[in-house]
C-alpha cells in the first residue's frame, strides 16, 4: 500500500452532511433493521434496474434479489458492498441476506443508541464531526440535547419557505412559535425567531437550503410588495400534504416564486448577519424521477455575486456539473466545494472532479466528504468509498510529479478534516 493511501485510509473525516435518525427514532425501529437497511441510496438504483416492470420499485425480498445483481456495480451498489464487507466480512449477496441481518442485529444488540452511533460513526467510519441536516418541524425535539452524538452540529433547514405554494409551511412555523403569523413581516420575523432558538443551543452550524428538490435554483429579486401580495394569497390556501414534488406546478407559479425568492433572501441575509455558512444542495437529486435541469450550481451565480460576505458550502459536487462547480469555486472567493454524497453517486466522476479541482482551486476551499445517510452503519461504507477515491487521486498526483508525498498528506488532511473544522469553527 502506498504511503499516501495508508495516510488517507487511517485519517479522520469531517462529515459535512448527514440525515441521521435521532436516538429515539433509531430505537423505535431497532427490532426491524435487516439487510434492506444497509442499502441506503441503492434502493433508487434497484428502481432504475427494474425499469418499467415494477412501477413502485423493488420492495419485496424477491425483487431485491432479482435486481441487486444488476446494479451492484454502481457507486450506490459498491457502497453497500463496502459496508457489508467491512462490518460483517460478508458479500452483499442474496445468499448472505439472512446472515447480514443477523450480523447487523448482533452489532446493535446490547448497545444503547448512543453506543451504536459511537461505534459506527466515530470508531468504524472515523467521522470526527458531522453537520446534521435539521429539517424544521413543529416539534422542538431537534433543540433538545440527547438526540445525537456530541460531535454533531446542526444545519437549520426550513427551505419549504423558498417554494411554498400553500399555507403548509406557514402553519408549521405558527405551530413552532405558538402564535399566528398574519403578515409577510411576521413571517420573516418568525423564521428569525426560530433560528434564534436553534442558535441558543450552541449547536447551530449553518443554514441549509435543499430547495433544488422542489424548484430550480434561479433566484430573482422580487419586491416586498410582490412577495406580500403572494403571501396574502398563499396564507389562506389550504395545505397540500400530498408530497412536495407532486406539487411542482403550484410551486412554480409566478406568485409562489415571488414569495419563495423573497424568503430565500431573508434566510441568506440572516446567515450574513450571523456569519453562518449557507449549505445549498446542487446537482443530482436522490431517488428517481427528479427534475434535474434546474439543479446546477451555475444558477446560483447572481446569489453568490450579491452576498459576497456569505460563505457558501455548495453540495454534492453539483454532479453532473462538477467542472462548472470547479470554475465557480475558482472565481468566487465566497464558495467552498463539497463532495458530500458525490462519491457514491458516481465514483469515477468524483475522482475526475477532485483531480481537476485540485488543479484549479486552492485546496483549502475543498471539502472531500459527507455521507448523507440516514443510518449510522452506512457511514462505514460511504467513508471508505470516499477514502478510496481520495487516495487514488492523490496517488495519481504524486505519480504525475505534481505533489510529493508530504504535500499529498497535507492536502489529504486539509480536504478530509481540517478545512471543515476551520470553516465551521470546530477545534481539531
The smaller minimum CB distance to Zn ion, of residues 228 and 372, is found at: 372
The smaller minimum CB distance to Zn ion, of residues 88 and 369, is found at: 369
Would you give the binding string for Zn ion spanning residues 283-302, x where CB under 5 A is met?
--------------------
The helix or strand, by DSSP H or E, that contains position 45, with its residue range, turns out to be helix 42-50
What is the closest distance, in whole angstroms, from the C-beta atom of residue 281 to Zn ion in the complex? 7
The smaller minimum CB distance to Zn ion, of residues 190 and 376, is found at: 376
Q: How many other CB atoms are found less than 10 A from the CB of residue 359?
A: 10
CA–CA separation, 362 and 332 (whole Å): 12
Taking CB under 5 A as the binding criterion, the range among 170-178, 262-270, 316-324, 370-378 that sits at the site for Zn ion is 370-378
What is the closest distance, in whole angstroms, from the C-beta atom of residue 253 to Zn ion in the complex? 27
The smaller minimum CB distance to Zn ion, of residues 234 and 342, is found at: 342
The helix or strand, by DSSP H or E, that contains position 393, with its residue range, turns out to be helix 378-399
What is the closest distance, in whole angstroms, from the C-beta atom of residue 401 to Zn ion in the complex? 37
CA–CA separation, 224 and 258 (whole Å): 9
Cell numbers 476551520: residue = 422
8 A C-beta contact, residue 336 and residue 366: yes
Q: Which residue is nearest to Zn ion (CB)?
A: 372
Q: How many other CB atoms are found less than 10 A from the CB of residue 250?
A: 17
The smaller minimum CB distance to Zn ion, of residues 227 and 340, is found at: 340
Residue environment code for 114-125, b if the CB has 16+ CB neighbours within 10 A, otherwise e = eebbbbbbbebb
Extract the C-alpha cell encoding 231: 403571501
CA–CA separation, 259 and 165 (whole Å): 9
8 A C-beta contact, residue 134 and residue 199: no
The smaller minimum CB distance to Zn ion, of residues 294 and 374, is found at: 374
Number of residues that bind Zn ion (CB under 5 A): 1
What is the closest distance, in whole angstroms, from the C-beta atom of residue 17 to Zn ion in the complex? 5
Would you give the binding string for Zn ion spanning residues 213-252, x where CB under 5 A is met?
----------------------------------------
Of residues 371 through 410, those in contact with Zn ion by CB under 5 A are 372
Q: How many other CB atoms are found less than 10 A from the CB of residue 68?
A: 22
Q: Is 159 in the site for Zn ion (CB under 5 A)?
A: no
What is the closest distance, in whole angstroms, from the C-beta atom of residue 133 to Zn ion in the complex? 6
8 A C-beta contact, residue 278 and residue 310: yes
What is the closest distance, in whole angstroms, from the C-beta atom of residue 160 to Zn ion in the complex? 15
Cell numbers 510529479: residue = 401
What is the closest distance, in whole angstroms, from the C-beta atom of residue 316 to Zn ion in the complex? 8
Q: Which residues, 6 or more positions from 126, have their beta carbon under 8 angstroms from its beta carbon?
A: 11, 12, 13, 383
The smaller minimum CB distance to Zn ion, of residues 166 and 372, is found at: 372
What is the closest distance, in whole angstroms, from the C-beta atom of residue 19 to Zn ion in the complex? 5
The smaller minimum CB distance to Zn ion, of residues 213 and 307, is found at: 213
Extract the C-alpha cell encoding 422: 476551520
Taking CB under 5 A as the binding criterion, the range among 193-201, 299-307, 350-358, 365-373 that sits at the site for Zn ion is 365-373
Point out which residues bind Zn ion (CB under 5 A): 372
Amino acid at each position: 500500500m502506498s504511503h499516501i493511501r495508508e495516510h488517507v485510509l487511517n485519517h479522520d473525516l469531517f462529515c459535512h452532511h448527514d440525515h441521521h435518525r435521532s436516538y429515539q427514532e433509531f430505537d423505535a425501529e431497532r427490532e426491524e433493521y435487516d439487510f434492506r437497511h444497509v442499502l441506503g441510496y441503492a434502493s433508487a438504483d434497484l428502481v432504475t434496474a427494474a425499469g418499467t416492470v415494477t412501477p413502485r420499485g423493488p420492495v419485496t425480498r424477491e425483487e431485491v434479489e432479482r435486481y441487486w445483481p444488476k446494479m451492484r456495480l454502481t457507486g450506490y451498489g459498491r457502497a453497500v458492498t463496502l459496508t457489508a464487507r467491512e462490518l460483517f466480512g460478508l458479500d452483499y449477496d442474496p445468499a448472505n441476506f439472512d446472515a447480514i441481518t443477523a450480523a447487523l442485529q448482533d452489532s446493535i444488540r446490547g448497545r444503547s443508541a448512543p453506543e451504536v452511533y459511537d461505534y459506527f460513526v466515530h470508531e468504524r467510519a472515523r467521522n470526527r464531526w458531522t453537520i446534521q441536516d435539521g429539517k424544521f418541524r413543529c416539534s422542538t425535539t431537534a433543540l433538545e440535547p440527547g438526540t445525537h452524538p456530541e460531535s454533531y452540529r446542526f444545519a437549520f433547514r426550513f427551505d419549504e419557505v423558498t417554494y411554498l405554494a400553500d399555507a403548509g409551511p406557514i402553519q408549521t412555523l405558527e405551530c413552532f412559535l405558538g402564535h399566528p403569523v398574519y403578515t409577510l413581516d411576521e413571517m420573516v420575523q418568525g423564521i428569525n425567531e426560530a433560528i434564534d432558538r436553534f442558535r441558543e443551543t450552541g449547536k447551530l452550524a449553518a443554514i441549509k437550503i435543499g430547495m433544488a428538490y422542489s424548484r430550480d435554483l434561479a433566484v430573482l429579486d422580487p419586491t416586498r410588495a410582490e412577495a406580500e401580495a403572494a403571501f396574502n394569497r398563499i396564507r389562506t390556501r389550504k395545505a397540500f400534504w400530498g408530497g412536495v414534488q407532486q406539487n411542482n406546478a403550484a410551486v412554480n407559479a409566478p406568485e409562489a416564486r415571488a414569495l419563495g425568492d423573497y424568503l430565500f433572501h431573508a434566510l441568506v441575509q440572516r446567515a450574513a448577519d450571523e456569519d453562518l455558512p449557507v449549505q445549498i444542495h446542487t446537482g443530482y437529486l436522490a431517488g428517481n424521477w427528479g427534475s434535474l435541469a434546474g439543479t446546477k450550481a451555475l444558477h446560483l451565480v447572481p446569489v453568490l455575486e450579491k452576498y459576497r460576505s456569505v460563505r457558501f458550502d455548495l453540495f454534492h459536487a453539483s454532479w453532473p456539473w462538477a467542472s462548472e462547480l470547479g470554475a465557480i469555486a475558482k472565481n468566487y472567493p465566497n464558495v467552498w466545494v463539497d463532495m458530500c454524497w458525490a462519491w457514491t453517486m458516481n465514483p469515477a466522476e468524483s475522482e475526475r472532479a477532485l483531480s481537476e479541482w485540485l488543479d484549479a482551486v486552492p485546496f483549502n476551499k475543498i471539502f472531500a466528504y459527507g455521507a448523507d445517510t440516514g443510518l449510522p452503519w452506512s457511514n462505514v461504507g460511504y467513508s471508505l468509498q470516499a477514502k478510496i477515491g481520495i487516495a487514488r487521486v492523490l496517488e495519481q498526483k504524486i505519480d504525475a510529479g505534481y505533489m510529493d508525498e508530504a504535500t499529498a498528506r497535507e492536502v489529504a488532511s486539509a480536504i478530509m478534516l481540517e478545512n471543515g473544522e476551520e470553516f465551521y469553527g470546530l477545534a481539531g
